[in-house]
Amino acid sequence: MDPDLSRLAAAVEEHGADGYLFDGHDDSDQYYVCGFDAPDPFLALYDGADVHLLVSGLEYGRAEKESRAATVARLGEYDYQERAARDGPKEARLDVIAAFLADHGVGAALVPGSFPTGTADGLRERDLGVAVERSDVITEIRSVKTDEEIDHVRAAQRANEAALRRAEELIANAEIRDGILYRDDEPLTSEFVKREIEIELLRNGCALDETIVAGGADAADPHDRGSGPLSADEPIVVDIFPRDKESKYHADMTRTFLRGEPSEEVRERYDATLEAQEAALDAVAAGVTGKAVHDAVCDVYEDAGYPTLRSDPSTEVGYIHGTGHGIGLDVHEQPTLNPTGEELQAGQIVTVEPGLYDPEFGGIRIEDLVVVTEDGCENLTDYEKRLVLD
């Protein structure tokens, strides 16, 4: 994939800089620009046309092979070892970076807000200009996906479906004793289901840092990950957001399950959420604002009598979060489907995830992942929506 960085080139020129500089690792913007990551910080320069890397000897071979860089230089080419022995590793690295920038005709660099102050100040001491880019232009470029990126997210969502299926099976096959779900004579816990989700994801090439399997009152806080034995007759929110280990792209999906008998209230809340999600999915299209999609959800919930943050900014129950977010190299990225959401563009990938929360009834959330198209959206999620598992 060759990203279109013309807007980054324009930002560099606008700031009167000679290039855009990264000095990090494990950073989605840096990875997007250079197509390479490493276990330790490395330097990446975009000169308005090409990307140039400065890496340790250890990473050189892989950077040559994997990155999109036009050139890859080693610290050693700038006598790093000799300088480090004489001046210490930090001063040596700064001197090497300054020499590398001089080689590429860079006297002033634009950098991301996250650029390390140690490097920025060190370069300034060496008479180089360092200015912070504050409009997040790369994040904006990243929000519209290429076909290849969409395929990466699609593949991660397939793995996600397999993992969700495993969670559903565990809940569906549990025995109910005294209102608690059991498996092999042990209470079925959030922790166990989460572990089995992780194992299924690993088998499908994905990993994750966190996942949510939350029942009852736990799920009334949308950020609670859930813990302890799962109960019958209560909704259980399962929200999985894995990353494909190879492509580094994410997927995201939520379903709410219930074993036993839902109360009438829970049934109504589930149906209202289904209807709210349908309204949002119908609203999504290029040119429509994220705010309009969010409003479509609020309309349904408010008509059904539930409070939303739109109708009552201080409410702690009802619909208390935004409708969705972009996804890609980061699990949360641009654009947003919330009260400040701007115009959607074709090729953006967003989650659509309305939900209702109340400590009395627990939490309910239904989340799909869609690609924005010119006249609507394509749903990347293939998983039925069903509350009660018999």
Which residues in this chain contact its own copies in the complex, by CB under 8 A?
A: 39, 58, 90, 111-121, 130, 132, 134, 195, 198-199, 202-203, 207, 210, 223
CA-based radius of gyration for the chain: 24
Taking the least distance from each CB to its own copies, the nearer of 6 and 114 is 114
Q: How far is the CB of 388 from its own copies (least distance, A)?
A: 30
Q: Is 227 helix (H, G, I), strand (E, B) or coil?
A: coil
Amino acid occupying residue 26:
D
**End-to-end CA, the chain:** 45
Tokens of 201: 């994801």
Q: Which amino acid is at 115?
A: F
> What CA–CA distance (Å, rounded) separates 95 from 314?
53
Q: How far is the CB of 196 from its own copies (least distance, A)?
A: 9
- Residue with smaller CB distance to its own copies, 106 or 232: 106
Residues 6+ apart with CB under 8 A from 374: 285, 286, 346
Nearest approach, Cβ of residue 147 and its own copies (Å)? 27
Tell me the sheet residues that pair with 182. Answer: 175, 187
Q: Which is nearer to its own copies, 103 or 196 (CB)?
A: 196
Residue 281: other Cβ atoms inside 10 A: 16
Q: Could you tell me the smallest distance in angstroms from the CB atom of residue 58 to its own copies? A: 6
| Least gap, CB of 113 to its own copies (angstroms) | 3
CA distance 153 to 159: 10
Please confirm whether the linkage preceding 222 is cis (ω < 30° from 0).
no
Nearest to its own copies of 58, 172 (CB atom) = 58
Q: Report in angstroms how near the CB of residue 26 gets to its own copies at its nearest.
A: 8
Closer to its own copies by CB, 270 or 357: give it: 357
Single-letter residue type at 146: T
Q: What is the largest CA-CA distance in the chain?
A: 76
Is the Cβ of residue 113 or residue 305 nearer to its own copies in the bound state?
A: 113
Q: Which is nearer to its own copies, 11 or 370 (CB)?
A: 11
Nearer to its own copies, 156 or 232 (CB): 156
d(CA 170, CA 166): 6
Q: What's the min distance (Å) between Cβ of 299 and its own copies?
A: 23
Residues 6 or more apart in contact with residue 257 via CB below 8 angstroms = 167, 168, 171, 172, 235, 236, 238, 386, 387, 388, 389
